């Protein structure tokens, strides 16, 4: 399984206006749309799309469609820029669930040291089951293009639930994975996003 996160930078207040075009774009392309969100806290005026592909070939075919389009993502009139990143799930992660998991989602990306993937994955494999007791991770995946990185998506019932889960898991010594941060760089980002109306992850 391959995953892809597309980040769309829109004009001011453009995310809502672009929704219909983006939805139409994703229904006509390859792969499966798993989630669509707009930024609420973090870099504003951005839309995030999570899609899955059965093979690298299928994913590249969709990239080719995007590259050749005169109306990328169906919202060229509102689009300032876009970035598309490729991922594979951490070896032990199961399929991504959809449905009413949120409605608050946190998208976190950690840049890893150049040799950090395998040690980081081993630390997460050990620690994530205990962390999931506080709030379940929807997906954790590593980049297969661009710089070494680990991206996670965490659903929460509310911002308060996010703060409670994060704070309590740290206080109880269940998170972060012991020794896990040793393989990460200080370059980390976090965005709180809300699902768009057509998002399979609500």
Task: Mention every residue, 6+ apart, whose C-beta is less than 8 A from residue 134.
Answer: 165, 166, 168, 169, 174, 175
**Band of pLDDT at residue 37, cut at 50, 70 and 90:** very high
Give the C-alpha separation, 142 to 123, whole Å. 14
For 12-26, how does the pLDDT look when each residue is reduced to its tens digit (9 = 90+)? 999 999 999 999 999
CA distances (Å), origin 145, targets 84, 87, 94, 185: 10, 8, 22, 17
Per the listing, tokens 């504003």 go with 44
Q: How far apart are CA 48 and CA 131, in angstroms?
A: 25
* pLDDT mean over 149-177: 97
Residues 129-152: tens digit of each pLDDT: 999 999 999 999 999 999 999 999
Q: How far is CA 177 from CA 82, 120, 158, 184, in A?
A: 33, 9, 24, 12
pLDDT digits (tens, 9 = 90+) for 113-135: 999 999 999 999 999 999 999 99
- Interval 60-101: pLDDT, tens: 999 999 999 999 999 999 999 999 999 999 999 999 999 999
Kindly report the pTM of this predicted structure: 0.96
């Amino acid at each position: 399984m391959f995953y892809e996160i597309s980040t769309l930078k829109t004009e001011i207040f453009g995310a809502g206006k672009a929704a219909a075009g983006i939805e139409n774009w994703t229904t006509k392309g390859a792969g499966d749309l798993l989630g669509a969100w707009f930024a609420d806290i973090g870099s504003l005026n951005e839309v995030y799309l999570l899609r899955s592909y059965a093979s690298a070939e299928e994913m590249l075919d969709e990239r080719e469609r995007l590259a050749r389009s005169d109306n990328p993502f169906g919202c060229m009139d509102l689009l300032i820029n876009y970035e598309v990143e490729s991922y594979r799930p951490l070896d032990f992660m199961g399929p991504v669930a959809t449905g009413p998991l949120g409605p608050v989602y946190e998208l976190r990306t950690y840049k890893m040291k150049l040799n950090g993937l395998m040690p980081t994955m081993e630390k997460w494999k050990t620690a994530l089951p205990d962390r999931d007791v506080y709030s379940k991770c929807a997906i954790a995946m590593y980049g297969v293009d661009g710089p070494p990185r680990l991206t996670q998506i965490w659903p929460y019932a509310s911002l308060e639930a996010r703060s409670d889960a994060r704070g309590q898991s740290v206080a109880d010594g269940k998170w972060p994975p012991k020794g896990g941060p040793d393989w990460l760089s200080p370059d980390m980002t976090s965005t709180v996003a809300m699902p768009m109306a057509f998002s399979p992850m609500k």
